[in-house]
Amino acid sequence: MNRILSASELALYQTQLTPSGKVRALLAHQWEHFPIAKSNHDALSGVREKQVVLDGLTVRVQFNSARIVSSAAKVDAKSISERKCFLCEANLPVEQRALPFGENYLMLSNPFLIFPEHLTIPHVQHTDQRILGRMGDMLALSKELSDFVVFYNGPKCGASAPDHFHFQAGNKGFVPLETELETILNQSQSVVDNQSLQIFRSKPFGANAIFILSEDPIEVERAFEKAYYHLALLSPDELEPMLNLLSWMVGDRYCLVLFPRRLHRPSQFFVEGDANILLSPASVDLAGVFITPQEKDFEKITAADLHDILSQIMVSDAVMEGLCEVFY
């Protein structure tokens, strides 16, 4: 079957002639023709959210039961080998349509959405989730989809298909990391500040992070790779250093945020009884929208819980000290 939406199909939904407008047309088409995407999209307007102040910044907790499929996903090698890959084109639902990004990616509506406009962007081949060598693609995608924030979850940092390479993207104006960027950068430590490149060390919402900004995607990629190889040396047994990444355009500048990790899921995920909290943090959580698929967790979770969860899963201040030295 041909999954790619034709120009005439797109024209029925397209209101803006930009690449972001094309993607919005894909989403509008899918909400009409793809029942799971529609019902989850409709349900999103009714999901409950509450605000929590973390280290002086306001974040949100979202009760989103549809996300249980991702939050509780079994991503061990045995479970993965026993299931059909849901990102391979041959296994996508028949209703799922696509737009191409370059020759290697398909842009799809994510039926289990968090953002009101939420895309999954798998590689056309079944190939492992590894970011090395694909940062250029991530930045190109950010430039193409200038109304969106593009993100990447490492194979042990929230990707529910660690065996099939994919990015995701969500509309701008949703995650505090993007909407509060100026405030966050004002409270950050400048590590590099020259004409073509700015790098900041920051701890938005209590999560250690590196912000890399430049008009030149090659500069961003080069700085990212320095950080990547340093983190890889610290975790020689991992397939790639544990990390989450988000990138978007700020005017003419690319902004890449790197969250280095040390743990996939916090202790609260595994304990039984009252202390259990089913929260499996990935890029969107680290960007300030924490997803709880269970109502009991949404009701009880506090700023202290979020702080404790982040202190378990993110790298220490000492690791950040060493990491920043690679940029000098």
Alpha helix ranges (H) inside 187-238: 217-234
In the complex, least distance from residue 311 CB atom to Zn ion, rounded to whole angstroms = 34
In the complex, least distance from residue 88 CB atom to Zn ion, rounded to whole angstroms = 3
Beta carbon nearer to Zn ion, 120 or 202: 120
- What is the separation of C-alpha 259 from the centre of its chain, rounded to a whole number of angstroms? 11
CA distances from 289 to 169, 203, 214 (A): 14, 16, 26
- What is the separation of C-alpha 159 from the centre of its chain, rounded to a whole number of angstroms? 9
In the complex, least distance from residue 153 CB atom to Zn ion, rounded to whole angstroms = 16
Beta carbon nearer to Zn ion, 168 or 198: 168
Task: Retrieve residue 280's tokens.
Answer: 């499996």
Beta carbon nearer to Zn ion, 153 or 208: 153
Return residues touching Zn ion (CB under 5 A). Answer: 85, 87-88, 126, 164
Which residue, 46, 114, 70, 63, is CA-closest to 293?
A: 63
DSSP-assigned letter for residue 249: E
**Taking each helix axis from N to C terminus, what angle separates 317-325 and 217-234, rounded to the nearest 10 degrees?**
130
In the complex, least distance from residue 124 CB atom to Zn ion, rounded to whole angstroms = 10
Q: How far apart are the first and last CA of the chain?
A: 52
Which residue, 60, 124, 99, 102, is CA-closest to 287?
A: 60
In the complex, least distance from residue 90 CB atom to Zn ion, rounded to whole angstroms = 9
Beta carbon nearer to Zn ion, 89 or 95: 89
Beta carbon nearer to Zn ion, 84 or 251: 84
Task: Retrieve residue 64's tokens.
Answer: 């989103």
In the complex, least distance from residue 106 CB atom to Zn ion, rounded to whole angstroms = 11
Residues ≥6 apart with Cβ < 8 Å to 14: 21, 22, 24, 25
Cβ-proximal residue to Zn ion, closest one: 85
Beta carbon nearer to Zn ion, 57 or 88: 88
